Chains A and B, each alone.
Chain A
Amino acid sequence: MLLEHAKLLAMLKNTGGIAGRKKLQKMVYIAKRMKQPFREKFQFHMYGPYSEELTLQVEEMCNASFVEEVREKISGYYQYRYSLSDKGESFLQAVLEEEEPIDSQLMQELNDCSSKFLELVSTVLYFDELPRQQVEEKIHRLKARQNYQAADIEEAYTFIEKLKQRST
């Protein structure tokens, strides 16, 4: 019964809301890679791993009034903020028994990061079968506009290591 949707509702509840579609996408991807029970399918897009299925699930929850979507103007562009509605809360309570639990501490930690950093972390994870030097080359070529520095990449690797240790 829309259990995949319920996991997203739980994520919104645990984090108190998420600002930005890109951030939401990267949080779910990273959490999935950290063995959280998300099942959405991701593909690499211009801005890193992206799931059309996830985009539609969020839209479905907005249309069902389970999630409130607010469009905010942020320095010249628009961003969408998502939070759990009362109706969504009721739905979540009703399916709680069937739902696989999500690590709320992990989700909160991811939510505290910037979406630019999460884009970098998810991209490193996407290429994690490659040697680090090749990953760095990929990042510099595919993400030239984001201008990630060596220190940013180092921070991303340290962050991933910390997440991996916790998920084992």
Chain B
Amino acid sequence: MEYDDGQLTEEKVFKDPVHRYIHVRDELIWKLIGTREFQRLRRIRQLGTTYVTFHGAEHTRFNHSLGVYEIMRRMVENLEKKMTWEEEERLVCLSAALLHDVGHGPFSHSFEKVFETDHEEWTRRIILGDTEINRVLLTMGDAFPKKVADVIAKTYDNKLIVSLISSQIDADRMDYLLRDAFYTGVSYGQFDMERLLRVMRPGEDQAVFKHSGMHAVEDYILSRYQMYWQVYFHPVTRSAEVILSKILNRAKALLADGYAFRLDPYHFRSLFQSTMTLEEYIRLDESIIMYYFQEWIQEKDAILRDLCGRFIDRHLFKYVECDPSEQLKIWPELKRLYNEIGLDPDYYLVIDSSSDLPYDFYRPGEKDERMPINLLMPDGSLRELSQESDIVEAISGKKRTDHKLYFPYDLLADQREYKEEKQRILELLHQQGG
């Protein structure tokens, strides 16, 4: 490969089903894509367990990261017409967009909950630690890796740059909405990204949108709303996520109790003991996790064996809607009955709430809580989106939370033993679900 002043002599393109082409002209970006830490993202699905519901959702964090980079490249190109960028700032933006998810682990949402780790912290360690990515970034100067890490951590001095990658309307969300819609095959999630980019203007602390482009912003908000309920918050996906979390919890508890695993959980040991090194983390991907789950189907421990079988073979938990105050009335009896029939309620009776998900709606919020989306009015003033848009205002006022109670219907429906107790449990559960 030949380079000229940091630019490739010949542009590289990746074919992409969402953006058609992803264009790479900078030597830096080309080299970052080639690093082992970035290539690892090919082995981590973007949507975790969503593939059990939408079979097309097998796309990875690699695809998404390239997509975010491409949107950022177009944003920078558009904004360059309205303002002056230092060449270094442009490269910081592009690198941060490309690397923003590099610290995600396998099924990272469940992982982070169970092991109390943080993918943003791992991203920082990968960018600043002894890695191929760090060595590539250092070619731009000693301070360059820190700048990229600070943009991703949202602590970079230039807030406009931070907002392009992390705000209520940013390159990350734009790509994942379009990409997740494409791969799940749903017809929601579409919005006019080209129009959004054309009406985007640099503001003091964040990008703002020309008032004339409000309907494109509305489309984006609606898309976010629909994808939340139809894809991200799908009850079947949540069931798989609940089982995944319970598997990890069970394995963690067994290891803490000194249980003798048939296959030593070598890759998990340091994670369970919170001593995982950067190199160990980089080696961990979804193929390894799935290998253990397959192996654990043979374990002596009945709970671990059963949960892994459910996850691998898609024998998921059923659910009923759950009202927290009603739940109080039946919870003690449910737990007692579960114990009587030998089912551990800690693993087989699980409440999952909207707050357990890493996705959100647009909310204007109160002053100084969170940056809202601002429209640039013809007189130069700024107005918060929901004050101008009836559609967004209507959505902002809607109830946006729910709780579901998950349970193994198949075990309860098999009433060869404990018939009365199981019938009563099902009665209580369905009473809860209305």
Stretch at the interface among B34-42, B292-300, B324-332, B418-426: B324-332
Stretch at the interface among A10-18, A58-66, A155-163: A58-66
A2-B324, A77-B367, A94-B328 known; A60 and B155 CB under 8 Å? Answer: no
A46, B371: Cβ atoms closer than 8 Å: yes
Q: Which residues of A contact B403 (CB under 8 A)?
A: 2, 60
Whole-angstrom distance between the Cβ of B125 and the nearest chain A Cβ: 13
Q: Count of chain A residues with Cβ under 8 Å from any Cβ of B?
A: 42
A1 contacts B by Cβ under 8 Å: yes
Whole-angstrom distance between the Cβ of A119 and the nearest chain B Cβ: 8
A90 contacts B by Cβ under 8 Å: yes
A-contact bits for B101-132, CB 8 A (1 contact / 0 none): 00000000000100010101000000000000
B351 contacts A by Cβ under 8 Å: yes
Among the listed A25, A66, A138, which residue makes an inter-chain contact with B324, where contact means beta carbons less than 8 Å apart?
Answer: A66
A53 contacts B by Cβ under 8 Å: yes
Whole-angstrom distance between the Cβ of B207 and the nearest chain A Cβ: 13
A47, B325: Cβ atoms closer than 8 Å: no
Whole-angstrom distance between the Cβ of B71 and the nearest chain A Cβ: 21
A-contact bits for B362-400, CB 8 A (1 contact / 0 none): 010111111100000000000000000000000000011
A1-B327, A2-B324, A60-B401 known; A47 and B353 CB under 8 Å? Answer: no
Whole-angstrom distance between the Cβ of A134 and the nearest chain B Cβ: 11
B192 contacts A by Cβ under 8 Å: no
B324, A44: Cβ atoms closer than 8 Å: no
B363 closest partner in A (C-beta): A55
Q: Which of B321-339 contact A (CB under 8 A)?
A: 323-325, 327-328, 331
B205 contacts A by Cβ under 8 Å: yes
A78, B367: Cβ atoms closer than 8 Å: yes
How many A-B contacts if CB must be within 8 Å? Answer: 96
A44 closest partner in B (C-beta): B154
Whole-angstrom distance between the Cβ of B432 and the nearest chain A Cβ: 12
B328, A56: Cβ atoms closer than 8 Å: no
- Chain B's interface: helix, strand, loop or mixed, by majority? loop
B118, A56: Cβ atoms closer than 8 Å: no
Whole-angstrom distance between the Cβ of A28 and the nearest chain B Cβ: 13
B273 contacts A by Cβ under 8 Å: no
What band does the interface of chain B fall in when counting residues whose beta carbon is under 8 Å from A?
35 or more
B401 closest partner in A (C-beta): A60
Complex: how many Å from CA A80 to CA B356?
23
Q: Which residues of A contact B90 (CB under 8 A)?
A: none
B159 contacts A by Cβ under 8 Å: yes
A52, B324: Cβ atoms closer than 8 Å: no
A46, B159: Cβ atoms closer than 8 Å: yes
Whole-angstrom distance between the Cβ of B172 and the nearest chain A Cβ: 13
B116, A56: Cβ atoms closer than 8 Å: no
- Chain A's interface: helix, strand, loop or mixed, by majority? helix
B-contact bits for A76-95, CB 8 A (1 contact / 0 none): 01111000000100110011
Complex: how many Å from CA A70 to CA B157?
35
Complex: how many Å from CA A94 to CA B206?
45
A78, B366: Cβ atoms closer than 8 Å: yes
Q: Which residues of B contact A43 (CB under 8 A)?
A: 120, 154
A66, B366: Cβ atoms closer than 8 Å: no
B354, A56: Cβ atoms closer than 8 Å: yes
B360 contacts A by Cβ under 8 Å: yes
Among the listed B360, B367, B368, B401, which residue makes an inter-chain contact with A63, where contact means beta carbons less than 8 Å apart?
Answer: B401
Complex: how many Å from CA A82 to CA B351?
24
Q: Which residues of A contact B351 (CB under 8 A)?
A: 1-2
A46-B370, A60-B353 known; A142 and B327 CB under 8 Å? Answer: no
A138, B328: Cβ atoms closer than 8 Å: no
B354, A77: Cβ atoms closer than 8 Å: no
Complex: how many Å from CA A55 to CA B116?
19
Complex: how many Å from CA A137 to CA B362?
32
Whole-angstrom distance between the Cβ of A89 and the nearest chain B Cβ: 11
Whole-angstrom distance between the Cβ of A10 and the nearest chain B Cβ: 15
Which positions in B face A, CB cutoff 8 Å?
Answer: 112, 116, 118, 120, 153-155, 157, 159, 205-206, 323-325, 327-328, 331, 351, 353-356, 358, 360, 363, 365-371, 399-401, 403
Which positions in A face B, CB cutoff 8 Å?
Answer: 1-2, 5, 20-22, 25, 39, 41, 43-47, 50, 52-57, 59-60, 63-66, 77-80, 87, 90-91, 94-95, 115, 119, 127, 138, 141-142
Chain A to chain B contacts (Cβ below 8 Å), 20 pairs: A2-B324, A2-B351, A2-B353, A5-B324, A22-B366, A22-B367, A39-B116, A46-B154, A46-B159, A46-B206, A47-B370, A52-B358, A59-B401, A60-B353, A64-B324, A66-B324, A80-B366, A94-B328, A142-B155, A142-B157
Which are the 5 A-B pairs with shortest beta-carbon distances?
Answer: A56-B355, A77-B367, A60-B401, A64-B324, A57-B355
